[in-house]
Amino acid sequence: MTAALLVTASAPALAAPADPLHSPMWEHHAARLFGKDAVVFDQRVAVRIPEIAENQRIFPVTVDARALPHVRRIVLFADLNPIPVAVDYAPTGAEPFLATRIKLDQRTPVRAAVQTEDGTWHVGGSWIDAAGGGCSAPPVSRVKGDWADHLGEVRAGQWPEKAGETRLRMTFRHPMDTGLVENIPAYNIERLTLRDDSGRSLGEMQIFGSVAEDPAFTLVVKATGAISFEARDTAGLRFPGKVGA
């Protein structure tokens, strides 16, 4: 009897669309982040950044994808950073909105990739000029030597947005070490979770070392009343907080 050999061909990966920013790292990041998913450049992904990076250690970025329906994931990244991805956010009970601060190591595109329910990634962003060194310079608290005295201090506030929504801002004292400074190992907040007063998930965020020292996050959640949150760092320390009644 002759055995029959069955060969199943796997579906080829979709080619990433041509990059309007002409980044030398676009194809690499697209393959790593999006795999076989469809990718489109979309003006509905608004990435608001200053025209010039006045401080490459603390660079503000706002991502607003509320013009897109059924968003399930937001990835904020800078193409030419040694740690490209800054935040990977699943707004489970929140609007697709995120404001934070990141480090910049050189002139680079800063982008947001937003995945909708159908699996498509919608990408927006632009180039930013930066002096460089934001990822490879020691945090200010390390230079001052007082980082351990304030580690894990939490501040938070909430403001009404529209009906049934709350704007929430959280800040955490943490050095957010990248591991790229001599004799200082990587040490950063790596996870942030949010819940309403019934325990329902409002958002889950994975955080990387390219987020700025003393990280701050502004979100718009679909909840009012008490909101609890907890950050966890790479040493396993947990920093909980709560706002509202």
Instruction: Show me where the domains of the chain are located.
Output: 26-232
* Structure confidence at residue 40 (pLDDT): 98
Distances (CA, A) of 50 to 62, 80, 126, 161: 10, 18, 10, 24
Can you say how many angstroms the Cα of residue 10 is from the centroid of all Cα atoms in its chain?
31
Instruction: Name the pLDDT band for 14 (thresholds 50, 70, 90).
Output: low
Domain 26-232 has CATH 2.60.40.2470: yes
For 17-69, how does the pLDDT look when each residue is reduced to its tens digit (9 = 90+)?
999 999 999 999 999 999 999 999 999 999 999 988 989 999 999 999 999 99
Q: What is the pLDDT of residues 124-154, one digit of tens each?
A: 999 999 887 788 878 888 878 888 899 999 9
Q: Which of 92, 129, 116 is nearest to 42 (CA)?
A: 116
Instruction: Tell whether the model's pLDDT for residue 198 goes beyond 50.
Output: yes
57-110 pLDDT, tens digit each: 999 999 999 999 999 999 999 999 999 999 999 999 999 999 999 999 999 999
- For the whole prediction, is pTM greater than 0.85? yes
